[in-house]
Structure formats: C-alpha cells, structure tokens
Amino acid sequence: MGEMEELRKEADNLKDQITEARKVVQDTTLQEAVAGTTLVGRVQLKTRKTLRGHLAKIYAMHWGTDTNCSKLCVSASQDGKLIVWDTLTTNKVSAIPLKSSWVMTCAYAPSGNMVACGGLDNMCSIYNLKGKDGNVKVMRELAAHTGYLSCCRFLSDSEIITSSGDCTCVLWDIETGTEKTIFAGHLGDCMSLAVSPDFKMFISGACDFTAKLWDIREASCRQTFSGHESDINAIGFFPNGNAVITGSDDATCKLYDLRADQELITYQDSGIMCGVTSLAPSLSGRLLLAGYDDFNVNIWDMLKAERVGVLAGHDNRVSCIGVSSDGMACCTGSWDSFLKIWN
Amino acid sequence: MSNNSANSSNLVIAQKVVKQLRLEASVRRIKVSQAAADLKTFCLQNAHKDPLLMGVPSSDNPFRPPKSCALF
C-alpha cells in the first residue's frame, strides 16, 4: 500500500508543478495584450443558400478542401443518409444510404475521393466517391471501438482518426481496416477531434472536461488542458496551429495556447446559458463562429472576446458548423433538417 | 477478481498516470506575452484575406448570382 500512496503524492506534486510552471510564464493576459486593438465591427452574414433534402436532424457536416472541391460538403442526418452537396448550385452530388441511421459524425477526405461516417454502430464506415461504375459504395468498415463514434477526420486516403464514447481515439489504416494506434488517457467519452494544419498532431475534447493534444507519430499525449466545467462538445485549431479552441456544455468557449500551455481567454456572456455544440474559426482566426443549443450561432471577436454578430435562421439546435477552406462561406447544419450557407 | 490483482492493476494505472504527468510537466513553455503577440500578429496580417471578416462584394461572391440590370 506504501507504493500506491507514494504514487498518489507524486501525481499531486506533478500537478502542482504544472500549475506553477504555467503561472511562471503568465507575464500578462491576452486581454491586456490586445487592449489597444480595435474591436471588429458588427459582422452581419446573410443566408445565401439553404440546402434542403434531409428528412431528420442533421448531426454533422464537413467541407471538402481546396485541392478538389472547396465548394462541396458532406452532411449526415439521422434520416440515415449522407449527402454530398454542391453548395453553389445546391444540387446533391451524392445521396448515400447508410446501414445504420444513428449517425453522429461525417468527414470529407482532403483528396475528395472519400467520405466517412459513424455513430451508435460504434464503427467508422468509409465510402469511395470515385468508384468505377459511378456508384458510391462502402469501402471499409472500421470496427473496434466499444463505444459510439463521435467524430472522425481523414489524414489522407489511407489514414483516418476517430474519437469514441469508449474514451479513446484511434488512428486507423484504411487499407487493412486495422487500428494503428490507440490514444488512451481521457476519463470520459471523447466527443470531438481536430487535426493540426501540419497533420502532425490532433486534439480531442471529452466528457472529462479536458482537451488533450496528441502527437500522432509518437503516439503520445503531449498536453492536457482543463478549465471547462462540463463536457467539451466541440474543438478546433486556430488557423496557425498554435492554439486550440474548445466549446462546452458549460456555455463557454475557451482559447488555449499550445506553446504557453494554458488557457488565454474564455468566450462567455451572462446572457448565454446553453451549451456550445460546434465551432469554427474564420480564415484569419479573428472570428470564432460557435453554434449553441438555443438555435443560434454567435460570432466572437477571438482577440477581444466580445460578441460581434449572431446568425439566427434555424428553427432548432445548430448541431454543426464549418468554414470553407478558402474562408468564403460558413455552413451551419441543424436539427431542423436544413443546412444554410452564410457570408 | 481477487484483491491482489485489483491492487496490482490499480498500481499499474497509477504508474501510468505519474508517467504521463511527468511528460506534461516537462513541456517547454513560452511567455503568454509572446503567445498573445503572435496570435494578434497572425490575425492582423491575415485580416485582409479573410472574406467573412472583410465582407464579400456581391460581384465576387460565388454564392450570389450576379444581379443583372437590363436597360433595354
């Protein structure tokens, strides 16, 4: 029993060390550092397109990337369909029927060749969009998680990272359908993940109220960020990869700097009392668009931490949001079954 | 599960927790003033390229069909 007690003491000491080390470099606050910066003017975005077609709640959406399809996006709904949309024409490029309608996430591969989805089936299904006969078919079913699939993101056509209700994240080899690396450490359901711009790291947000930064190739957790008072539902990288933004059921979003290893600021307002479901930064990182349970999207000046706009247009919870890779437009998906394109 | 094997697996978990904390404690940290300055610089330098921030003129907006004005 002596060893257990010693380990507990050592763990407490180390936690105190980390707290101290973070204080030592806290020579100012973000708020003070941007005191002289002018607040962004009121941001008023209009709905330019409404994507109609899903018959039930939309749970996730993801934009295609620059290289091939910067105006295409994929959405997942509990009507059991994945739809690939051409957002310029509002046409459905593909409508993919799913084996399991309990889908919670979807992703577009950077190449534009594949999409993936998963949910209460505990699996991540990969679909080939560029099949020879023009039909979209299931290419792989990645099964090993013992909990629901909350999020997935492609690294390439051959690798994908998933986060799960089983508290782990996994890096998969799509070709062989096997787990390459298991990232364990969270003490609660992993709800969301985001890959760094250089594809070397990823961050995960979980129901243990923490966000973790993982080194993909070293297969290790580099840093853990606390401060939220409830589940973290959404997570994203600041565009230069040096900071992380989280959105939580505690009604706030937080900005954590990776190099200073600490929280820099909290985005909160006494008038906002409902959870954050989704978030996306604008191209320069200056704007933070966050979706909330009260059917709205709030737009924050990320440096000054003040609200500078609202997107009101959905008749139910905004469940997902994304900014296109060229920064031209923002897409929101809702439980009202519609997706809207704003700019 | 016997008490002994429960104890030893708890020990293994505790050892892993300590090992992970040691790793996280050893991270090299930069000053918040530098981190904040770099974030501010990045935002300001890229502001002009940020369509949602700057606004998109209708003529350049691919999501807006160009308004035609027929005079004849």
**B→A interface, C-beta within 8 Å:** 7, 10-11, 14-15, 17-18, 20-25, 27, 29-40, 42-47, 49-53, 56, 61-64
- Cβ-Cβ contacts under 8 Å between A and B: the total is 168
Instruction: Give the nearest partner residue to B20 out of A88, A221, A238, using CB atoms.
Output: A221
Contacts of B11 in chain A (CB under 8 A): 3-4, 7
> Helix H segments across chain A?
2-24, 30-33, 66-69
Q: Given this model, what pLDDT does residue B71 score?
A: 61
Phi and psi torsions of B16, nearest 5°? -65, -40
In a domain, B8, yes or no: yes
Q: Work out the number of other CB atoms within 10 angstroms of the CB of residue B30.
A: 15
Count the domains in chain B: 1
Nearest to A85 by CA among A193, A104, B65, A76: A76
Percent helix, percent strand, percent coil in chain B, to nearest 5: 65, 0, 35
Q: Given this model, what pLDDT does residue A60 score?
A: 98
Q: How far away is chain B from the Cα of A221, in angstroms, using its nearest Cα?
A: 8
Q: Identify the three-state secondary structure at position B6.
A: helix
Q: Pick the residue from chain B with its C-alpha nearest to A187.
A: B17
Contacts of A34 in chain B (CB under 8 A): 36, 40
Q: How far away is chain B from the Cα of A11, in angstroms, using its nearest Cα?
A: 5
- CB < 8 Å & 24+ apart, contacts of A168-175: A169/A193, A169/A202, A169/A204, A169/A214, A170/A144, A170/A145, A171/A216, A171/A219, A172/A124, A172/A142, A174/A126, A174/A139, A174/A140, A174/A142
Q: How far away is chain B from the Cα of A204, in angstroms, using its nearest Cα?
A: 16
Interchain contact, B32 vs A260, CB within 8 Å: yes
Nearest to A280 by CA among A342, A222, A201: A342
In a domain, B36, yes or no: yes
> Distances in Å between the alpha carbon of A226 and those of A87, A164, A179, A213, A255?
37, 20, 28, 12, 11
Per-residue pLDDT of chain A (343 residues; tens, 9 = 90+): 689 999 999 999 999 999 999 999 999 999 999 999 999 999 999 999 999 999 999 999 999 986 656 699 999 999 999 999 999 999 999 999 999 999 999 999 999 999 999 999 999 999 999 988 888 999 999 999 999 999 999 999 999 999 999 999 999 999 999 999 999 999 999 999 999 999 999 999 999 999 999 999 999 999 999 999 999 999 999 999 999 999 999 999 999 999 999 999 999 999 999 999 999 999 999 999 999 999 999 999 999 999 999 999 899 999 999 999 999 999 999 999 999 999 9
Q: How far away is chain A from the Cα of B1, in angstroms, using its nearest Cα?
A: 18
The answer on pLDDT for B72 being more than 80 is no
In a domain, B68, yes or no: no
Instruction: Give the nearest partner residue to A328 out of B14, B21, B51, using CB atoms.
Output: B51
Phi-psi region at A30: left, alpha or beta (left = phi > 0; alpha = psi -120 to 50): alpha
In a domain, B70, yes or no: no
Residue of higher predicted confidence among B68 and A223: A223
Q: Pick the residue from chain A with its C-alpha nearest to B20.
A: A221
> A343 Cβ partners below 8 Å, 6+ apart?
A45, A46, A48, A328, A329, A330, B51, B52, B56, B61, B63
In a domain, B72, yes or no: no
> Distances in Å between the alpha carbon of A231 and those of A59, A85, A203, A250, B67?
17, 31, 15, 7, 46
In whole angstroms, what is the distance from residue A180 CA to residue A53 CA?
37
Residue B71 structure tokens: 């005079």
Contact A77, A95 (CB under 8 A): no
Q: Identify the three-state secondary structure at position A267.
A: strand
In a domain, B21, yes or no: yes
Domain of B31, in residue numbers: 2-52
Q: Given this model, what pLDDT does residue A318 score?
A: 94
The answer on pLDDT for B2 being more than 80 is no
In a domain, B15, yes or no: yes
Q: Report the relative pairing of strands A339-342 and A330-334 from DSSP bridges.
A: antiparallel
Strand (E) or helix (H) holding A265: strand A262-267
Phi-psi region at A261: left, alpha or beta (left = phi > 0; alpha = psi -120 to 50): left
Question: What's the whole-number mean pLDDT along residues B15-40?
Answer: 97
Interchain contact, A33 vs B18, CB within 8 Å: no
In whole angstroms, what is the distance from residue A291 CA to residue A275 CA?
9
Amino acid at A73: C
Contacts of B10 in chain A (CB under 8 A): 4
In a domain, B71, yes or no: no
Interchain contact, B33 vs A27, CB within 8 Å: yes
